[in-house]
Amino acid sequence: MFTKNLVVAAPVQFGRAALVASGGHVSAVIVNSGNANCATGTAGHRACKAVCIDTARLLKTKPSQVFPSSTGIIGVPLPTEKISSHLSPLISRAEASVEKLRAFADAILTTDKLPKIASIPMQSGKAAITGVAKGSGMIHPQLATMLVYLLTDVAATPGELRSVLRKTCDNSFNVISVDGDTSTNDTVLLLASGESKISLRKIRTEFEAGLHSVCCSLAEQIIADGEGVQHLVRLEIKEARNRTEALQIARTIAHSLLVKTAWAGADPNWGRILAAIGRSGVALDPKKVSLVIGNQTVCRGSVACRFDEQRAHKELSQPESRVRVRLGRGNYSLEFLTTDLTSEYVRINADYST
């Protein structure tokens, strides 16, 4: 799965082409942090290709089976030599260990404060799914600024992996947002080694549940570690007609600067949420809309209710809080993870390139 941004970084373009050329087979993933290799023109494509060729030569595999990823600042030439000169010692130290997995998770971070790792056993420990992610800013549905690598020892075809990954992303990485910006480099990659000799077809239900659990954990870790984030908000959209309108309303609320800054101050200013719902583009009936903060109804039928403002403030002051919207239109429900917007977010992004 890749970014939906029409401005696409060289490694995403190269990676897409490599998956087609190799029939979905990947022998190695090479990731650099600090440079997105985006908006770098022909030179950026040559640089990406050169790194993959060098990696393939050392691993004695085909360049089309080396998958590249980059994350960092846009518009700066990729320092190919700096990467290629470190490949040999990097590969010589490679091993299958928890320590190396954690080192990889640390190495791919940018403005993240913490590495993101999740794992779940299957078949009584005979197989597993493990995920590593990075992401902190430019987090928005369709995928968010993230690099996510999901690894399993289950045996599966590329087609089987694509099918389960698409469904899982819709209910994990595509229902989160920090700031509403979509990156040029987003990638979610699911790789299966087959080492366990257990076929995905035989354990599909368990595999889908395990993959969902790992991806939801990583998505939540990304949101909690968002740039400048003080408060994670579980935004529940209830009684929508369908997923499309539930997402449309959730995203409008989650991207409202007035709503996000109110959450930064733990201010139960529910009118801002109601206004966002009204301009979402969904043809709803305001008389059926209700809002709940924590366990207090603050608005019913788009009319103010008496509620304990201090209790609502206390709820929103927690590291994690819950806001519920009832639309009175149908039976579809959706949980959307989002955050506040703080002065620290402004500081990080005002100084990012300088």
- Burial string for 160-183 (b: 16+ CB within 10 Å, else e) reads bbeebbeebbeebbbbbbbbbebb
The C-alpha atoms of residue 271 and residue 273 are separated, in whole angstroms, by 5
The C-alpha atoms of residue 233 and residue 185 are separated, in whole angstroms, by 26
Measuring CA to CA, which residue among 28, 3, 199, 47 is closest to residue 104?
28
The C-alpha atoms of residue 352 and residue 144 are separated, in whole angstroms, by 18
The C-alpha atoms of residue 71 and residue 16 are separated, in whole angstroms, by 16
Tell me whether residue 244 is one of the annotated catalytic residues. Answer: no
- Three-class SS of residue 72? strand
Q: Which of 71, 111, 145, 182 is catalytic?
A: 145
Cβ 264 vs Cβ 231: under 8 Å: yes
The C-alpha atoms of residue 191 and residue 194 are separated, in whole angstroms, by 9
Positive or negative, the Cα torsion across 278, 284, 288, 289? Answer: negative
| Token representation of residue 304 | 């103010």
* Sequence-separated (6 or more) residues with CB below 8 Å from residue 136: 109, 110, 111, 112, 113, 145, 178, 222, 225, 226, 227
Show which residues are catalytic: 145
